[in-house]
Structures are given as structure tokens and as C-alpha cells.
Amino acid sequence: MKRARELSVGVERWPIRGGFTISRGSKREAVVVVATIRDGDRHGHGECVPYARYGESVEGVVQAIEACGPAIVQGLDRANLQALLPAAAARNALDCALWDLEAKRSGRSAAELAGLAPLHAVGTAFTISLASPEEMAARARDTASYPLLKLKLGGDGDEARLAAVREAVPKARLIADANEAWRAPNLERLLAAAKAAGVELIEQPLPAGDDALLEHIDRIVPLCADESAHDRASLATIAKRYDAVNIKLDKTGGLTEALATAAEARKLRLKIMVGCMVATSLAMAPALLLAQDADFVDLDGPLLLERDRVPGLAYSSGMVMPAPAALWG
């Protein structure tokens, strides 16, 4: 008798090397949820990161995934999953697990299933956590082997942070992420400081829902929507206020919607960043399909951890290699 498909869910905790700080706070571990779909001797895996900023909790995400168990047993596919769960972390884990399972069952790579060419290595940013100007400058010097650095900013003191990092690494490419910490009265001044430091892109300077002002200012540094952007439904408004969009699988609810979101973003002439939460290589691997022709890639999550999965992704001099088949896809 053929065994029915089975779903299991697990919660894992991965220590972060030295901690991770953004404008909203600090954390010392990455808490991830892993969905596994078993079909005979084949297993499909997907990882997500519940994010309180979007009203998610670990317990809630686990419950949302477990509630899909009967549908998984009955043969739930990716197309029907899109209607079953909203665009969020729980759907991401299941969507990526279904991609992985389909690849293993078909003997074809996930890239081939998505209609893509064989994957190639891509350059990724390395993130410098929010800290004092001196600490961020020192960290930037220590990571000089990465051509592209992403600076976490926090509002007050950002002008000094930008200047200190630029002085420390005069040749590095810089992007920055304010994580909604800037406010309208200091926006022009901080944009000028970013331009003076040679910053190429700034993510989410103003709070989501309070960013209409961006339609009417001179964006002297290109701006990228992150917290303001989730899936395709948000892009029409985003295109009026931003120059780029950060597409994360935990926001789009998986690779399926992420690929569609990227295609729509291109139609709207938005540049694309492919981003991540702090997580393991299992969460990064599906995003590499999206990153192949992205304008900016920020898939350094495993580099911020004390340890990663084995096998994991291989990183070298700012490049991340395609995932081994034993990891995903």
C-alpha cells in the first residue's frame, strides 16, 4: 500500500555570532520553523522565520503549518497553497518544502522546474549590525573581503556612523537599512549624509504606512521598500515612492509568489533586492533562484550564525554558491 504524505513541523534555535542589532532591538539567536513533507522515502524541507514586526509568533506559525496537515495528506500543491494561507512565514515554509519535494520526486532541480537556467554564484552583501560609529567602522574593516557591506542604521547618530564606515573602508560598496527608524524632519539631512558616504541604496527610511512623503521628495539616494512591501499587491503603491523593492520569501509567503512578485516589479521598473532574515542555509537556498538577476543580493544570514546546517551553502569572498542537492532543491 502506498503511504500517504505526511507533514511534520519543528522549531530550531541557532546562536548568532556576537548578537544582531537593528533599530527595533537586538537578538542573540535565530529561531526558525522547519516544515518537512514526507512522501515515501523522499522528504521536502522549507524553513521560515516568524517575525513579530508582522504580528507573527513561533507558536502561531507552527499552528498555521500544522493546520495544513490534512490538505498535505490529500495532495496539496503549490498553486492551492497560495489560497490556503496568506503571504507570510508559514506559507513560505510549506511552499519551499513543496518545491523541494517536487524536485526530488521529478529528478529535476528547482531551478529547472521554475524555468530558469542552471544557477550560478551571486555576490551578497555582508551586514554590519547597528552600533556606535567606532564599532561599526571596526567591524567594516574586519570584513573588508566583502565588496558590498550593508549598514544597519538607527536614526540618531547615523551621520557619524556613515562617515566613520566610509573612512574605514574607502573602497567598499555600501548600502544601508534604516528599518523604519528615520523621521520626516531629518530625512533630507540623513539622505545627504548617505549620499556623501557613497551609499548606493537605502532600505525603508520611514515607517511603513508613513512613507507617502517619499512620492514628493528628491530621492538623491535610491530608496528600497522593505517593511512597506510584501507581495505583488503592494507594488503599485511602492513604485510611486521607491526605486527598488526588497523581496523576502518570508514576506511573499514562499518562492512561488516571490518569483511572480519579481516579475511584476520588473514591469514597474523597480530594481530588485533579494533579502533574508537571520536564518540557516535552508532558508537562503530557495532565495538563490530569485537572486540570479537581482540588482542587490543580501543572503548573508548563515554568515551571522555561530554554526550552520551541514551541508550548507558555500561562501567565498562575498560570493554565495548554488545550494548542494542534499540541502534543498
The residues carrying an active-site annotation are 152, 248
* Helices 255-267, 89-106: inter-axial angle, 10-degree rounding: 100
**CA–CA gap between residue 262 and residue 271 (Å, rounded):** 9
**CA–CA gap between residue 153 and residue 266 (Å, rounded):** 28
Residue with cell 518544502: 97
Asked if residues 56 and 89 have their Cβ atoms less than 8 Å apart, the reply is yes
Spell out the residues 6+ positions from residue 283 whose beta carbon is closer than 8 angstroms to its own.
32, 47, 48, 49, 249, 250, 276, 277, 301
Q: Collapse the DSSP code of 200 into the 3-class scheme (helix H, G, I; strand E, B; otherwise coil) and give the result.
A: strand
**CA–CA gap between residue 89 and residue 322 (Å, rounded):** 23
Q: What angle do CA 143, 149, 151 make, to 5 degrees?
A: 110
The closest alpha carbon to 143, from 323, 328, 318, 319, belongs to: 318
Cross-strand bridge partners of residue 92:
none
- The CA-based dihedral angle spanning residues 12, 227, 21, 24, taken in that order and rounded to the nearest 10 degrees: -110
Sign of the CA dihedral 223, 22, 138, 133?
Answer: positive
